[in-house]
């Protein structure tokens, strides 16, 4: 158990990086409040964590709904008395060429990947200010640094997460820590949202070498374990055998 156990709220916790993060942080002794739309998975994960001696609870969460995110953060505070860390992890990646004009999918990526992060910040920042500190961990992507065909809108959303994170860091004067975690290819369900056949086939090849989600959870655990005067700002984690 860590010497400085924290209360950590995790969005998109029902699978992939969010699920792995919940397991890792619970094992480190942190108290978890988990959010996602698939409550059956959250329930199973919460029971697994508590059966192993950890502390976890959950609530259904739609990060595109600002009111729902405020309620999620409020529920975290009501259960544990404070909110030390928010991991803004929820994301979608329905890649397609721009000429496919999948505007509904563009909107969905903007709503989840950008507005979802902003909603998490807006919901938790007042609480963190009032309690004298806190930590946002925002999950971006290597797509926050480079653009590839079929990924223009997805990369744009991750560039935005990077910009938002840096802006929040500069405005925080040291009391609010901000970490941007940018995974390379990682085992997750993100590619399952790709409806465009060309993009789906390209991504199958691209994802042939992938990190386990636990590798990203380890990076998150490292960032939040640092002493208050240390702010880990950006971490990029790629598969060693991949050029991407």
Strand partners, 174: none
> Catalytic residue at 145?
no
Strand partners, 126: none
Contact residues for 95 (Cβ-Cβ < 8 A; gap 6+): 150, 151, 154, 194, 196, 199, 200, 202, 203
Contact residues for 235 (Cβ-Cβ < 8 A; gap 6+): 179, 180, 181, 182, 219, 222, 223
Catalytic residue among 145, 154, 206, 222: 154
Q: Tell me the C-alpha distance between 106 and 110, whole Å.
A: 6
Give the active site residues. Answer: 154
């Amino acid at each position: 158990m860590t010497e400085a156990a924290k209360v950590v709220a995790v969005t998109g916790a029902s699978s992939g990086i969010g699920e792995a993060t919940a397991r890792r942080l619970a094992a480190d002794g942190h108290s978890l409040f988990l959010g996602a739309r698939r409550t059956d998975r959250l329930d199973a994960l919460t029971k697994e964590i508590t059966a192993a001696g950890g502390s976890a609870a959950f609530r259904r969460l739609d990060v595109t709904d600002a009111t729902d995110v405020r309620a999620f953060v409020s529920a975290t505070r009501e259960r544990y008395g404070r909110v030390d860390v928010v991991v803004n992890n929820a994301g979608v990646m329905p890649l397609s060429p721009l000429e496919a004009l999948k505007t509904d999918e563009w909107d969905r990526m903007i709503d989840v990947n950008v507005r979802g992060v902003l909603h998490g910040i807006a919901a938790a920042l007042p609480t963190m200010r009032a309690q004298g500190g806190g930590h946002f961990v925002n999950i971006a992507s290597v797509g926050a640094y480079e653009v590839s065909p079929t990924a223009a809108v997805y990369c744009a959303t991750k560039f935005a997460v990077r910009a938002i994170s840096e802006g929040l860091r500069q405005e925080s004067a040291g009391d609010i820590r901000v970490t941007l975690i940018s995974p390379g290819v990682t085992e997750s369900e993100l590619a399952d949202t790709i409806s465009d056949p060309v993009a789906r086939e390209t991504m199958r090849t691209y994802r042939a070498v992938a990190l386990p989600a636990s590798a990203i959870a380890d990076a998150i655990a490292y960032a939040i374990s640092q002493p208050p005067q240390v702010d880990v700002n950006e971490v990029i984690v790629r598969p060693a055998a991949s050029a991407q």
